[in-house]
Amino acid sequence: MHPKALLDESASLIEKVFKFDHPADAVVARHFRENKSLGPRERATLSDTVFAVLRERLKFEWLARSGSGSKWRRLAILGFPGDRDFLKSALTEPEKNWLDACAKVGDADFLAPHRHNLPDWLAQALREQVADELDALAACLLRPAPLDLRVNTLKQKRDAALAAVRGAGLSAEVTPHSPLGIRLDGKPNLARLPAFANGEVEVQDEGSQLLSLLLAPKRGEMVADFCAGAGGKTLALGAAMKNTGRLYAFDTSAHRLDAIKPRLARSGLSNVHPVAIAHERDERIKRLAGKLDRVLVDAPCSGLGTLRRSPDLKWRQTPETVAALSALQQRILASAARLLKPGGRLVYATCSLLPQENEFVAQAFEASHAMFEPLQASSLLAAAQVEDAAGLCSAEGRFMRLWPHRHGTDGFFAAAWQRKA
């Protein structure tokens, strides 16, 4: 595609995404389905441009004020990746001069919002927690996340899986905290990786891997992944159970549960039972009350811990949506807790950075559920052979609290309890 046409296509796609009525990756995927003539390189350029603009929206919008032409074209020019000569071949002389002027603007010329690229309410909420680390956190959130794999212990050990990944020509290291993780350099095509095709490794962020280690299910137990989604944690739990016992994967979206099936086929697991439910009080859940050994609640949340992957979330979420999610999270956690038998373990988790979805929900649960005894996340992680378990938790070790700039993972929170006998 000619650079001018590619730039025009980028501008059109940015305008669609910036309606913020659907997740950015869904809008991009739909655009690609509707434009099948786009080749792999063109799709990569379009996607990279959109996500660069989403990450640095406030900075780019400030720079764009001095340009000419449509706002969307100016944003596309600023976010366009790669070769500047290729880009400039699509620009008018005034646009070239404007782009050169933008390149000369230094960090000292930007206000804090332009550097952080966070809405004011979110920047303030994060500053209240990390204080003078906000610059480091904001800078980290502007960088794309690495690609992490979890080794399927049902089929392979990590050392052998790492050797297989490297043997396929990929650059990879073990993850710093999870004993199950491998971190890849770049974004290779995993479909061509034999270890992925045969189910020895599965895509899962290191932080998410730690959730299954917190729950620590054992052979023969009855376990539930209460909000299973596409099943990454379900697969990890099934492998930890050595493909024994019974593992329920609950979700309100049958479509999301369908996404588990090809992953299950690769994994070799046969102990997983996907169950689509209408809501957290579904009759199929009530029938299991008091029967389960362990339950993981990775609750629906704002996703603000995943901004490296989904930068549109910072523009789509608001204090009002967070408040609504907090109420939903409390209802879901209370419903999931009914499944536990005496002595059973409950883990609540989110991929949010906000206390309203994390500590506040855990504290509200404890205040109304005296039969559940708090567990120390740091002790559970240490027992699971997680490196620097204490450093992954709040000061007193009560909650797991992962920060992208400190730990190199997505932002995660987790709390654990045991039902009293």
Query: Any catalytic annotation for residue 351?
Result: yes
At 69 the pLDDT is 87
Residue 1 has pLDDT above 90, yes or no: no
**Rounded mean pLDDT, 302-315:** 98
Could you tell me the pLDDT band of residue 107, with boundaries at 50, 70 and 90?
A: confident
| pLDDT tens digits for range 318-330 | 999 999 999 999 9
Confidence of residue 262 (pLDDT cuts 50, 70, 90): very high
Question: pTM of the entire structure?
Answer: 0.95
- Give the span between the Cα atoms of 177 and 235, in whole angstroms: 19
- Mean pLDDT score of the chain, rounded to an integer? 95
| Residue 33 pLDDT | 96
Q: Give the pLDDT confidence of 114-170 residue by residue, as tens digits.
A: 999 999 999 999 999 999 999 999 999 999 999 999 999 999 999 999 999 999 999
Arithmetic mean of pLDDT, 324-351: 97
pLDDT of residue 67: 84
Question: Over 90: is that where the pLDDT of 405 sits?
Answer: yes
How, if at all, do strands 340-350 and 412-419 pair? antiparallel
pLDDT tens track for 6-61: 999 999 999 999 999 999 999 999 999 999 999 999 999 999 999 999 999 999 99
**CA angle, 331 then 336 then 342, to 5°:** 130
3-state secondary structure of 247: strand
> Which position has the token pair 């989904």?
310
- Token pair 């995943």: residue: 306
pLDDT, position 395: 81
| Interacting residues of 4 by C-beta distance below 8 A, sequence separation 6+ | 89, 90
% of the chain with per-residue pLDDT over 90? 91
Q: In the 8-state DSSP scheme, what is residue 391?
A: G
**How buried is residue 133: exposed, middle or buried, by Cβ count under 10 Å (0-12/13-18/19+)?**
middle
- Cα torsion 405, 301, 413, 190: sign: negative
The label of the residue with tokens 């539930």 reads 224
The proportion of the chain whose per-residue pLDDT surpasses 70, expressed as a percent, equals: 100
Beta-sheet strands, E only, within 145-233: 147-151, 172-174, 181-184, 201-203, 222-225
pLDDT at 78 over 90: yes
Average pLDDT over residues 240-263: 94
Per-residue confidence (pLDDT) for residue 166, from 0 to 100:
96
Lowest mean pLDDT among 255-264, 364-373, 396-405: 255-264
**Residue type for position 85:** D
Of 149, 138, 11, which is closest to residue 67 (Cα–Cα)? 11
- pLDDT score recorded for residue 199: 96
Q: Indicate which residue of 140, 227, 301, 351 is catalytic.
A: 351
What was the pLDDT predicted at 84?
86
- Identify the pLDDT of residue 82: 84
CB 296, CB 224: distance < 8 Å? yes
